[in-house]
A and B are shown apart, each in its own frame.
Chain A
Amino acid sequence: MKPFAYTRAETVEAAIAAEGALLAGGTNLLDLMKIGVAAPDRLVDISRLPLAGIEEVAGGLRIGAMARNADIARHPAVLARFPALAEALLSGASPQLRNAATAGGNVMQATRCSYFQDPASSCNRREPGSGCSAIGGQTRNHAVLGWTEGCIATHPSDMCVALAAYDAVVMIEGPGGRREAAMESFHPLPDAAGAGPAPLSPGEVITDIRLPDPGGMARNARYVKLRERTSFAFAIVSAAAALDLRDGRIAAARLALGGVAARPWRCRVAEQALVGQPATTESFARAAELAVQGARPSGDNAAKIELARRIAIRALSLAADGTPDRLAALPASVFAGENNG
């Protein structure tokens, strides 16, 4: 790989001042450097920043950007009040990677579009203006929502799908001070020319992620992930759902889809349609239709639209059934719990 300078930031201020690519768990950036997709001149190691805490704040949660995926997934407050986040985290990557990967890094991870990962291919996301080789290629992992001719990549994170459903807010510090961004719109959608603007400006650092009080949804929340391999595989499609049920009717609903767009796809129209409805399969089916409204194949991937619709119904149905007291084996799998054979 290209030679690079390495510095370690001891404070957030130092990280902001240092000009370079931020290195946290290294589980994605180092891979990209090895395959020649990322070639930073300077790495700024932020893994020692004092941002690894996970704290309960007024019914909600504050997750430090350096908190490890494995630690978040096993945190008692996450398991008790944000179980879909635990399921999403545990369905991602492998134990080794979850021990290294951080919350901030998970948010910032790059698409696994194979054309993005191949420097010999054209990619507007990697090299603006160069075109998109994915269109007309192998598109099973590509978007069916929110894509353009400029870019059809998907965001690969499981965690962010659950975070989007939980109304999470990404806290950012930068040269211009602090700002916050809703998880559901943190990642830009592509525009006609390409991937759209970068989610962070130069010098900006994610410090933590805040989740508001889930209220009545705490024990009616699930994450479901479709994939052929039970571990270490990205979602073909996935869904996070949470419901606030009052006497069998839906007082509030949350739904987000994964594997379908360049961001975790929050389905607010579907959520609205569920409010006041009975928690039945029919209600969920109508909501799921709304969730995939406007979806269109970006290649030979039309089946993903139908799968996204169906996994939305599944996640809502499972959420309505209630979160199991103990996290099931095979987290987020359709074969989780007693169905695993």
Chain B
Amino acid sequence: MADVINTQGHVRLGSNAGQGLTRRDGVLKVTGAATYAADNRPEGLLHAVTATATIARGRVTHLDVAAAEAHPGVVKLYTPDNVPPLAVSPDEKIHPFVWRMEALQSDRVRYAGQPIALVLAETLEAATEAARLLAPRYEAETPHVTLDDAEPFETTTTAFGRPADHSSGDIGKARATAARHVVAEVETVAQYHNAMEPHAIVARWTGDRLEIDTPNQAIGLARQTFAAFLGIEPAQILIRSPFLGGGFGSKAILYGGQLLAVLAARDTGRPVKLVLRRDQMYGPVGHRAPTRQRLRLDLDEDGRIAALQHDTLTMTSSFDHFLEGASNASHSLYATAALQTTHRGLRADIGTPGPMRAPGEAPGSAALEVAMDLAAQAAGLDPLAFRLRNHAETDPSNGMAFSSKALRECYAQAADLFGWADRPAEPRRMRQGQLLKGWGMGSAQFPCPMFTAAAHATLRADGSAVVETSAADMGQGAWTALAQIAADGLGLDIDRVEFRSGHSDLPDAGVAGGSGHTATAGTALFNAGADVVRRLVDLATGDPASPLFGAGNSGVTARGGRLHRNDDGRSEAYEDILARAGLDMLRGEGTGAREGQPTRAMFSHGAVFAEVLVDPDLGQIRVSRLVGAFAAGRIINPRLARSQLLGGMVWGIGFALQEEALHDARTGRFTNNDLAGYHIPVNADAPMIEALTVHEDDPFVNALGIKGVGEIGVTGTVGAIGNAVWHATGLRSQRFPIHPESLILSGESL
């Protein structure tokens, strides 16, 4: 693929993009100067605290409102009896990406941790104590919160409206030709995003204009959603979201507390701040539901997959629909003559699940890669050789060619760096001191969606520029990578480009999710810059006083703040072109979206190799090495991309060995809803971890060739770790996370 993007040929990608620049907001963040939503303290601020339900199903029968209101400092208390009305019920599904919310619309309790009252007070302490003094009483009903006892329901869709079931090829016929088959049964558990920054909102009304500070991954949609529920115009609302302390999907979707804070601010005429406690983030702001997956792989004599079946049982809430699409992870990765996937859903007394880093792909990949390892063993093949034998040349779910797929190169580079060739085929063959050592691998895959984004670029009289789009930087470095793309679109050095983002008066950049933000918002920014350059070229080539006069519309290239003739190399600076035209600025617009129906299958790919050490007596597992190689199209910023990939792989360590939200099945309440009890990895859990990126040109995925790196690191890694545990111990865990207890069940040392 050429480095010149053909937007009339004037601008090229690569002067700024492709370089490992450090984060533009890095100094602000490490010095504490970055202002997160909860850091805002407008004058007259009231502190809001929600009281939350301690039952998972039933009705609130009594709240001691008098005791709470009598507490010093309390200003106002809202319950279903007096909460101001919304223009639209919070139980309305006004948009596929708007979840049904709890905004005190009734006394009904649908899950533990649900908000049941809101207290406003002059101090956080007073509001907290008043919420406690409410001492709710309930009419409790028996809750169902597990895969074993929740209620089955009929559904034809999984998350994001995708079909629940898929079938291609004739699975019966394919099985008839098979020589053998393997079955893998894998369970994954409930996980919670646990972004470092809690969900927070500061809401302030000035007349009929509303200002909101809140971390959000999709500012444009959030503004529309607030407007719809409040019955006002989006233009009346300004949302600021300059910094997000992590989101992972949980800040892509509004929750009821945000509506309540806005209502309370309007009702009291004072600014209101609501910050969730860590334990309050377990319920209303989404999570990854548990899954129970079964895979059957039928193999022919040569170890080729003849049929692949992947069935998932998972759960959603009693009142909304989000089913983790785990089986979809088997659609497009490995070649198979016949493919059949299903999802079945349960309704449970839990908060509605939502997208959490690699939704569907993460648990689905974990189970698929375990199944692939079992199948490799059955076929008598090395796990890598088996995956290569079943390399998909086209997408088996729809027959499409891939837009690009450098997976073979990922396998080769990661295996080489890891030293995979020395792996003994049999388990329990390697030791380090007294510890068992094992090696495992998994393939990584993640789709390349694009959403819709818009951007503006304005060239100023001095030749510098400002670009604008409401992108979300939740720590991934979007503002840095996007600024690099914008600078290339303008043909300017990045130091000459001011990047404005993070509030809703700017053009909508779409959602920071689905690993599609850089591709989508980046395309819009690039096009906006290119639009400016096109106008400049028109000015210059049409002006007899310009050295570019007569160069023709396509005979000019922009770089370094100048337009250059392609024929004789003469050039002119942007500011001179503007000055002669009598312009103090020149404005361009751009959009980013995928046009038409895709005719290619579009995915990022990767390969992950894991080494684990296992204590043979105590069953404790340590991931001692993790090596991944990823092909994700054009890498805009190698430093940030590597960080994203490493972060995904660390997430995989947590998924494989640690993360697990525990409910008491009798009450539906959590027993570990804090960071001491819900374990995510620490630095000491990831001693040696490396992520390579493999060169990949993709002329189809979008004009810039960008795929995405935010989520793919999770895929492949979980299975690789599980497979390494088998290679170390000879034991196949049927559940993630793998606990030490599960390895010593036999009563013998390993």
Question: Which A residues lie at the B interface, using CB under 8 A?
Answer: 1-3, 34-36, 112, 114-115, 118, 120-121, 133, 136-138, 226-234, 236, 303-304, 306-307, 310-311, 313-314, 330, 333-335, 338-341
State whether A307 and B682 are in contact (beta carbons under 8 Å apart), knowing that A1-B125, A120-B54, A334-B618 are contacts in the complex. Answer: no
Bound-state CA distance A304–B741 (Å) is 8
Give 12 A-B pairs besides A120-B667, A314-B618 with Cβ atoms closer than 8 angstroms: A1-B128, A1-B132, A3-B72, A120-B669, A133-B664, A138-B664, A138-B671, A228-B737, A229-B685, A230-B682, A335-B613, A339-B434
A-B contact pairs, 14 of them (CB 8 A): A36-B132, A118-B671, A138-B662, A229-B681, A230-B682, A230-B685, A231-B683, A303-B741, A303-B744, A311-B618, A314-B617, A334-B615, A339-B432, A339-B434
Interface membership of B625, Cβ < 8 A = yes
Residues in A with CB closer than 8 Å to B620 are 226-228, 333-335
Is A340 a contact of B687 with CB atoms below 8 Å?
A: yes
Q: Which residues of A contact B663 (CB under 8 A)?
A: 138
In this complex, what residue of B is CB-closest to A231? B682
CB contacts (< 8 Å) of A233 on chain B: these are: 676, 679
Choose from B129, B618, B679, B683 the contact partner of A226 (Cβ within 8 Å): B618
A4 to B747, CA, bound (A): 52
Among residues 599 to 626 in chain B, which have CB atoms less than 8 Å away from a CB atom of chain A?
611, 613, 615, 617-622, 624-625
Q: Are A231 and B740 in contact (CB under 8 A)?
A: no
- Which of B128, B433, B611 sits near A339, CB closer than 8 Å? B433
Residue from B666, B676, B684 in contact with A136 in the complex, judged by beta carbons closer than 8 Å: B666
Q: Say what secondary structure dominates the interface of chain A.
A: loop
Q: How many residues of B contact A (CB 8 A)?
A: 50
A232 lies within 8 A of B676 (CB)? yes
Complex CA gap A26/B741 in Å reads 33
Q: Are A307 and B741 in contact (CB under 8 A)?
A: yes
Shortest distance between the CB of A267 and any CB in chain B (Å) = 18
Verify if B745 is at the interface (C-beta below 8 Å from A).
yes
Residues A341 and B618 in contact, CB atoms below 8 Å apart: no
Q: How far is the CB of A51 from chain B (nearest CB, A)?
A: 27
Residue of A nearest to B658 (CB): A228
Known contacts A310-B617, A335-B613; decide if A228 and B129 are in contact (CB<8 Å).
Answer: no
Chain B positions within 8 Å of A304 at CB level: 741
How many contacts between A and B, using CB within 8 angstroms? 113
The 3 nearest A-B residue pairs measured at CB: A341-B624, A120-B54, A230-B684
Task: List B residues at the A interface (Cβ < 8 Å).
Answer: 54, 72, 125, 128-129, 132, 279, 432-435, 611, 613, 615, 617-622, 624-625, 657-658, 662-664, 666-667, 669, 671-672, 676-677, 679, 681-685, 687-688, 737, 739-741, 744-745, 747, 749
A204 and B108 CA atoms in complex are apart in Å by: 47
- Complex formed: what's the CA distance from A333 to B624 in Å? 14
Chain A residues positioned under 8 Å from B740 (CB to CB): 226, 228, 236, 307
The smallest C-beta distance from B387 to any residue of chain A, in angstroms, reads: 25
With A314-B618, A341-B611, A341-B613 already in contact, the answer to whether A3 and B684 are too (CB < 8 A) is: no
Give the chain A neighbours of B676 by CB distance below 8 A: 112, 232-234
What residues of chain A lie closer than 8 Å to B619, measured between beta carbons?
Answer: 307
By the criterion CB–CB under 8 Å, are B666 and A137 in contact? yes
Query: Are B658 and A339 touching (Cβ within 8 A)?
Result: no
The answer to whether A310 touches B618 (Cβ under 8 A) is yes
- In the bound complex, what is the Cα–Cα distance between A334 and B614 (angstroms)? 9
**A234–B619 alpha-carbon span in the complex (Å):** 16
Q: Which residues of A contact B687 (CB under 8 A)?
A: 340-341
Give chain B residues whose Cβ lies under 8 Å from the Cβ of A36.
132
In the complex, which residues of chain A have a beta carbon less than 8 angstroms from the beta carbon of B669?
Answer: 118, 120-121
Q: Chain A nearest CB: distance from B33 CB in Å?
A: 21
- Tell me whether A341 and B688 are in contact (CB under 8 A): yes
Chain B residues near A306 (CB-CB < 8 A): 744, 747
Q: Report the minimal beta-carbon distance from A91 to chain B, rounded to whole angstroms.
A: 11
User: What residues on B are CB-neighbors of A236 within 8 Å?
Assistant: 740-741
Task: Output the least CB separation between A168 and chain B (Å).
Answer: 26
CB distance from A236 to the nearest CB of B (A): 7
Which chain B residues border A120 with CB–CB below 8 Å?
54, 667, 669
Which residue of B has the minimal Cβ distance to A113?
B671
Least CB separation from A137: chain B residue: B664
Contacts of B684 in A (CB 8 A): 230-231, 330
Bound-state CA distance A334–B434 (Å) is 10
